[in-house]
């Protein structure tokens, strides 16, 4: 469970960290597991504890973790099926279908966009 941030990126640190946690949610990180204590993670990432807590609170607002004093940040059950991009994917496929683009064409566009 390794989280990273890049201080030289224009993306805010707390957003980078939240993104890093979400990324782990799709892999090994399961419901009930604990994230590192904010003070520990802040120390190892060399960022302020407030920055870590802001990322945690963002994830809490999204329903991905529970925060409790003394216990820390715990991955929720609903975090497993969480996908905020689903709405956009639905819109994309609807529009593509309307214009006569098939699955492979769309996936090709996605790959190209990721590569750019």
Residues lying near DNA in the complex (CB under 7 A) are found at: 7, 10, 12-15, 35, 37-40, 46-51, 53-54, 56-57, 60, 67-73
Q: Are strands 72-75 and 65-68 parallel, antiparallel or unpaired?
A: antiparallel
- Is residue 98 a contact residue for a second copy (CB under 8 A)? yes
- Our CB check for DNA shows the closer of 49 and 92 to be 49
* Piece in contact with a second copy (CB under 8 A), picked from 10-18, 30-38, 47-55, 72-80: 10-18
Q: For 76-103, b where at least 16 C-beta lie within 10 A, e where not — what string?
A: beebeeeeeeeeeeeeeeeeeeeeeeee
Helix ranges (H only) for 26-70 are: 38-45, 49-61
Interacting partner of 23 out of DNA, a second copy, none (Cβ under 5 to 8 A depending on kind)? a second copy
- Binds a second copy (CB under 8 A): choice among 5, 13, 14, 21: 21
* Residue (of 96, 91, 90) closest to 108 by Cα position: 96
Task: Round to whole Å and give the CA distance between 2 and 20.
Answer: 8
Cβ of residue 80: shortest distance to DNA, in angstroms? 20
Q: Select 7 or 84, whichever has its Cβ closest to DNA.
A: 7
């Amino acid at each position: 469970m390794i989280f990273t941030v890049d201080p030289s990126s224009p993306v805010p640190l707390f957003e980078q960290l939240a993104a890093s946690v979400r990324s782990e949610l799709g892999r090994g990180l399961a419901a009930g597991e604990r994230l590192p204590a904010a003070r520990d993670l802040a120390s190892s990432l060399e960022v302020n504890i407030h920055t870590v807590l802001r990322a945690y609170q963002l994830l809490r607002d999204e329903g991905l973790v529970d925060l409790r004093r003394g216990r820390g940040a715990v991955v929720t059950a609903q975090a497993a099926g969480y996908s905020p991009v689903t709405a956009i994917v639905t819109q994309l496929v609807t529009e593509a279908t309307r214009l006569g683009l098939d699955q492979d064409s769309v996936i090709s566009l996605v790959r190209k966009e990721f590569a750019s």
